[in-house]
């Protein structure tokens, strides 16, 4: 296959590209405007492609340039698209919603349009647990995790921009027999390539495990816990952290799944959670550094518990997580942080 990977210079996209380069003969084209992605990541992936004798092209383009995207899609016979490119900072989406509806929803709709016009049969979409919003504990079972069939009610434009894209995909797949999609709702993505060749270089990261790694190695003086009075065993919020390589593998399984199954939406997580305190303690353990942590007020819109129910993906795809271990997640994050 010839696979278009949008956002392949970014954190998650680059891990999928690496897996594909190492484990398949698919020709890969990355399209990325490098707004949050890195040329250095493309350089590393180019080396990996050469080592594995696989073709990797890079196009530095912006998805909002519709006529350019139309030409690219017309000139290349892509068989599948894995679409990561997006804006993903939740507070920014509240301040600047149109950036999110344009970059995430409008650009995705145009990409889907180009896909249908040019015979692309498979579309894998990066969705998010943010589509569920703040789950109502009287309606869903927070302890056993959110199911794909649970209500979706995003509480910020980021989550809504992704849910709207899911809807565009659903309606398009209904209208076009030849077009199939899998929307993967990621929970909290963390960790880095265990080979240490790529990782998360995101600037001003707000994700807990990366922040803890930055604090452990002294890039930050201290870090904060936002709220220690949640109704959880230690009072801090519980999240489902998934290692980025297991998430990457889910995309590869999804491509295979679409060969002989219909379009669908899947949670990708481990179906179990760790509290903020547990994550920080694990980072302290693997780094050997007792860094400073301060307690602050709760942040608006942070649910107490957010865990996936991953029964659907496990029962329908051949997805077998290999890095479901908080120490491994923290260690690989830390190693990458030291490297950069």
Ligand X SMILES: NC(=O)c1ccc[n+]([C@@H]2O[C@H](COP(=O)([O-])OP(=O)(O)OC[C@H]3O[C@@H](n4cnc5c(N)ncnc54)[C@H](O)[C@@H]3O)[C@@H](O)[C@H]2O)c1
- Residue 206: count of CB within 10 angstroms of its CB: 10
CB burial readout 307-322, b (16+ within 10 A) else e: bbbbebbeeebebebe
C-alpha 189/C-alpha 166 separation (Å) is 20
Of the two residues 150 and 235, which places its CB atom closer to ligand X in the complex? 150
- 45 in contact with ligand X (CB under 6 A): no
Task: Restricting to residues 241-280, name those near ligand X by CB under 6 A.
Answer: none
Least Cβ distance, residue 229 to ligand X (angstroms): 25
- 307 in contact with ligand X (CB under 6 A): no
- 232 in contact with ligand X (CB under 6 A): no
Structure tokens at 247: 């998430």
C-alpha 157/C-alpha 98 separation (Å) is 8
Spacing of C-alpha 103 from chain mean position? 16
- Asked if 185 and 126 touch (Cβ cutoff 8 Å), the reply is no
Per CB under 6 A, the list member of 62, 278, 281, 325 interacting with ligand X is 62
Per CB under 6 A, the list member of 18, 21, 29, 36 interacting with ligand X is 36
C-alpha 270/C-alpha 241 separation (Å) is 7
Spacing of C-alpha 157 from chain mean position? 17
Of the two residues 170 and 235, which places its CB atom closer to ligand X in the complex? 170
C-alpha 10/C-alpha 142 separation (Å) is 31
Of the two residues 128 and 308, which places its CB atom closer to ligand X in the complex? 128
- 16 in contact with ligand X (CB under 6 A): no
Per CB under 6 A, the list member of 3, 4, 5, 11 interacting with ligand X is 11
Least Cβ distance, residue 49 to ligand X (angstroms): 17
Per CB under 6 A, the list member of 9, 164, 306, 334 interacting with ligand X is 9
For residue 291, give Cα distances in angstroms to 167, 216, 224, 235, 330.
44, 6, 11, 20, 15
Catalytic residues, by residue number, are: 158
Per CB under 6 A, the list member of 93, 108, 110, 126 interacting with ligand X is 126
- 157 in contact with ligand X (CB under 6 A): no
Structure tokens at 147: 């199911």
**The residue to which tokens 């989406």 are assigned:** 93
- 114 in contact with ligand X (CB under 6 A): no
Rounded (10°) CA dihedral 191, 193, 195, 198: -120
- 57 in contact with ligand X (CB under 6 A): no
C-alpha 142/C-alpha 183 separation (Å) is 22
- 186 in contact with ligand X (CB under 6 A): yes
- 109 in contact with ligand X (CB under 6 A): no
Of the two residues 235 and 302, which places its CB atom closer to ligand X in the complex? 302
Q: Give the interface segment with ligand X, choosing from 31-39, 44-52, 135-143, 214-222 (CB under 6 A).
A: 31-39
Q: Give the interface segment with ligand X, choosing from 32-40, 116-124, 301-309, 325-333 (CB under 6 A).
A: 32-40
Task: Restricting to residues 71-90, name those near ligand X by CB under 6 A.
Answer: 84-86, 88
- Residue 89: count of CB within 10 angstroms of its CB: 17
Q: Which chain residues interact with ligand X by CB under 6 A?
A: 6-7, 9-13, 32-37, 62-64, 84-86, 88, 103, 107, 126, 128, 186, 188-189, 202, 207
């Amino acid at each position: 296959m010839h696979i278009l990977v949008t956002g392949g210079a970014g954190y998650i996209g680059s891990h999928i590209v690496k897996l594909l380069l190492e484990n398949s003969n698919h020709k890969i084209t990355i399209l990325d405007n490098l707004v949050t992605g890195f040329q250095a990541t493309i350089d590393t992936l180019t080396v990996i492609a050469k080592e594995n004798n696989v073709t990797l092209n890079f196009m530095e383009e912006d998805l909002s340039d519709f006529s350019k995207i139309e030409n690219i899609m017309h000139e290349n016979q892509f068989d599948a698209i894995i679409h990561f490119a997006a804006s993903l900072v939740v507070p920014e989406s509240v301040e600047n919603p149109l950036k999110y509806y344009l970059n995430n929803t409008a650009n995705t709709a145009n990409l889907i349009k180009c896909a249908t016009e040019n015979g692309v049969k498979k579309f894998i979409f990066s969705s998010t647990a943010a589509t569920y919003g703040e789950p109502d504990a009287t309606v869903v079972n927070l302890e056993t995790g959110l199911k794909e069939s649970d209500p979706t009610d995003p509480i910020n434009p980021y989550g809504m921009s992704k849910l709207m894209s899911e809807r565009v995909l659903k309606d398009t797949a209904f209208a076009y027999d030849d077009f199939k999609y899998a929307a993967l709702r990621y929970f909290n993505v963390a960790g880095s390539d265990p080979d240490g060749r790529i990782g998360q270089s995101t600037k001003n990261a707000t994700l807990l495990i990366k922040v803890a790694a930055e604090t452990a190695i002294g890039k930050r003086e201290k870090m904060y816990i936002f709220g220690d009075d949640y109704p959880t065993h230690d009072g801090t919020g519980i999240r489902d952290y998934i290692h980025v390589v297991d998430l990457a593998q889910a995309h590869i399984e999804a491509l295979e799944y679409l060969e002989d199954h219909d379009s669908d939406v899947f949670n990708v997580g481990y179906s179990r959670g760790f509290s903020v305190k547990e994550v920080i303690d694990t980072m302290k353990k693997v780094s050997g550094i007792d860094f400073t942590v301060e307690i602050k007020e709760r942040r608006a819109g942070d649910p107490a518990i957010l865990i996936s129910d991953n029964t659907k993906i496990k029962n329908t795809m051949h997805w077998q997580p290999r890095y479901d271990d908080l120490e491994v997640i923290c260690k690989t994050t830390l190693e990458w942080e030291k490297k950069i």
